[in-house]
Structure 1
Amino acid sequence: MLWPLAAVQQGVDLVNRQLLASQCRLLRDYLNELNTGSRIPHDVERQVLQIQGRDAELLSLKASSSQRYLLYLHGGGFALGSLDTHRELAIAFARHADARVLVLDYRLAPDHPWPSGLDDALAAYEWLSEQGVDPRRLAVAGDSAGGGLAVSLLQKLKHLSQRQPAAAVLLSPWVDLTCSSPSMDLNSATDPLLNKVQMKAFAELYAGRQPLDSQEISPLFGDLQDLSPLLVQVSLQEVLLDDARRLVKGVQLSGGLAEINELAWMPHVWQLLYRYLPQAAASVRQASRFIKKYTQD
């Protein structure tokens, strides 16, 4: 019996998707195991929370009386990452921005595709509001996929007529999940961590049945008017360079405030190397100054 070519291709795609999903789960477990039990400095207070059934933690300096807050959304291609993998970076922001940093273990693909992660991010934002946190004292930040999720959160808040946070910091944000930015190809030889094939696979796991070019999946194609002031940091050598540039240009053309800081020869989300790389520490300090500039204490 001869099977139609389209049916054969669908079968191959399904097998490939299931294999990738299995690999994602294994890699996620491995990364979490590597980072489990990361050290909490003696001067940092860690409050373990549950927000709408999701694990979260609030990190702050014990000696600080600041009422500034930062909601941090970790990266990992919408399928990887956890509280453990990004705790040290969150603590660095707590220290330099003098902020109480809420980190959320939002639901991940492939088990929980869009809109699960966005719903969790919105729940965390609304939880902060319920605790009495004034948006003027609140910033949102995220790296890579978490940066894209942060932009989606701003757009969702606008759609719901809720107040925007005072500022947003995006580290190498992934905002075009069609992977059509020119740097996806132009920087393929200089980015040691990411590549277009890998990212399209992650994008499809996250999107589920939604088109990759929809504004729900790719916030670059959504409404960029009236968003919080943005600071974007990106490496000149990474494949997401033009995602960052296109986002900043789009916000600026829409009348918004957006700044971009481009560094040479840095790996994707180099800020995670805060304790080991001087450029990473400098970038965290710059982002923290931006947060402090636009938020009330």
Structure 2
Amino acid sequence: MISFEPFRQSFDFWHRQGLNQYCRLMREQLEAAMLRPCRPHGLIISEQDTNGVKSELVYWDHDTPRRYVVYLHGGGYVLGSIDTHRELAAQIAHRANARVLIVEYRLAPEGPYPAGLNDAQAAYQWLLDIGVTPAQIAFAGDSAGGGLALALMQRLKAANLPLPAAGVFLSPWVDLTCSTPSLDTNTATDLILNKAQMQSFAHVYAGGHPLSDAGISPLFGDLSELPPSLVQVSRQELLLDDGVRLAERLQQAGSEAKISKWSQMPHVWQLLHRYLPQADEALRELGDFLQEHVRGEPV
């Protein structure tokens, strides 16, 4: 079992230990705690160099349609990897009948903003370079990865570059100023996240940039003319209001957005599909959404 106690230590503790060192320690503990299941029969994992960024293409058998999902993992911009999210990517590939490209973007403190955003864009460009059309691609991410996916959409739009066909945001962290009310009101019901920790990770990721910068907190960026989006969030987690506000502001800006709120679920409960029927249901909803909005070309 993973112990979340180190994640819930006070900011004073982190400051005394050295925040950068603490981030690296948490990364090592998360990697060590994750299960390493055997590869299921029929799952294909192909390592890729996506314009200089390490990635993996995950899909099931050779008949999978040419529908792609660029997946950006969560972890507060300081934790997480392909290894921690490969199993979730495999489930998304199965439910969406797609090929999922998991991107090993750079993490803070070694790679603060905009390093991860640059890496995500490079991986997306790689798909375009090999002939995949934007209509065949979706962006998806959990927690910080959801924020990164949204920031990438906004960057592409501002540069008049092609946008993907859809976006999926699982418990997204889109306001790194940590000003949404549920970061305080849901303190007692979120057993994973901690506001003080999130504030510290936000500063590590932002470096010298303002936390309200739209590239860092995409909730404050231009949300108009973005592709259809699905937002899944738990009513009990700290990031409830990040997800709700994202869906509301997308809708207010004229973009299509569906908000799906779930009760009594932990942060990014989709990772627990082996144990929670609600996670299985959420993945089914995600898969149906992607199949509806993202074109899948035959092999």
Question: Does TM, normalized by the shorter one, top 0.5?
Answer: yes
Q: CA deviation at 1:63?
A: 4.5
Instruction: Tell me which amino acid in the other structure corresponds to 1:136.
Output: A
Greater C-alpha radius of gyration: 1
Residue 139 (structure 1) aligns with = 138
- Please tell me whether the aligned partners of residues 38 and 84 of structure 1 are also in contact (alpha carbons under 8 angstroms): no
1:291 aligns with 2:276: no
1:266 aligns with 2:269: no
Q: CA deviation at 1:18?
A: 6.8
Task: Give the distance between the partners of 2:194 and 2:36, measured in 1 at CA.
Answer: 30
Residue 211 (structure 2) aligns with = 212
After alignment, is 43-52 or 264-273 more displaced? 43-52
Cα RMSD of the aligned pairs, angstroms, is: 1.6
After alignment, is 15-24 or 221-230 more displaced? 15-24
- Please tell me whether the aligned partners of residues 230 and 258 of structure 2 are also in contact (alpha carbons under 8 angstroms): yes
Residue 122 (structure 1) aligns with = 121
Q: CA deviation at 1:49?
A: 1.3
For residue 173 of structure 1, give the secondary structure of its aligned residue in structure 2. Answer: coil
Instruction: Tell me which amino acid in the other structure corresponds to 1:183.
Output: S
After TM superposition, list the pairs within 5 Å mapping 1:178-197 onto structure 2: 178-197=177-196
1:257 aligns with 2:256: yes
Q: CA deviation at 1:26?
A: 1.6
Task: Give the distance between the partners of 1:122 and 1:178, measured in 2 at CA.
Answer: 24
| Superposition TM-score, scaled by structure 2 size | 0.92
Structure 1 residues 139-179: Cα deviation after superposition (integer angstroms, max 9, x where no partner)? 11000000000000100110111111111000000000010
| Superposition TM-score, scaled by structure 1 size | 0.93
1:229 aligns with 2:228: yes
Residue 113 (structure 1) aligns with = 112
How much identity, in percent, do the aligned residues show?
Answer: 52
In structure 2, list runs of 5 or more residues that go unmatched.
Answer: 1-10
Instruction: Tell me which amino acid in the other structure corresponds to 2:203.
Output: E
For residue 237 of structure 2, give the secondary structure of its aligned residue in structure 1. Answer: coil
For residue 139 of structure 2, give the secondary structure of its aligned residue in structure 1. Answer: strand
Task: Give the distance between the partners of 2:58 and 2:214, measured in 1 at CA.
Answer: 32
Residue 240 (structure 2) aligns with = 241
- How many residues align? The count is 285
In structure 1, list runs of 5 or more residues that go unmatched.
Answer: 1-11
Task: Give the distance between the partners of 2:271 and 2:265, measured in 1 at CA.
Answer: 11
For residue 147 of structure 1, give the secondary structure of its aligned residue in structure 2. Answer: helix
Task: Give the distance between the partners of 1:171 and 1:159, measured in 2 at CA.
Answer: 24
Structure 1 residues 203-226: Cα deviation after superposition (integer angstroms, max 9, x where no partner)? 000000011112121000000011
Residue 177 (structure 1) aligns with = 176
Structure 1 residues 102-160: Cα deviation after superposition (integer angstroms, max 9, x where no partner)? 00110000111000000000000000000111111111100000000000010011011
For residue 59 of structure 2, give the secondary structure of its aligned residue in structure 1. Answer: strand
- Please tell me whether the aligned partners of residues 142 and 169 of structure 1 are also in contact (alpha carbons under 8 angstroms): yes
- Please tell me whether the aligned partners of residues 236 and 266 of structure 1 are also in contact (alpha carbons under 8 angstroms): yes
Q: CA deviation at 1:16?
A: 2.0
- Please tell me whether the aligned partners of residues 64 and 98 of structure 1 are also in contact (alpha carbons under 8 angstroms): no
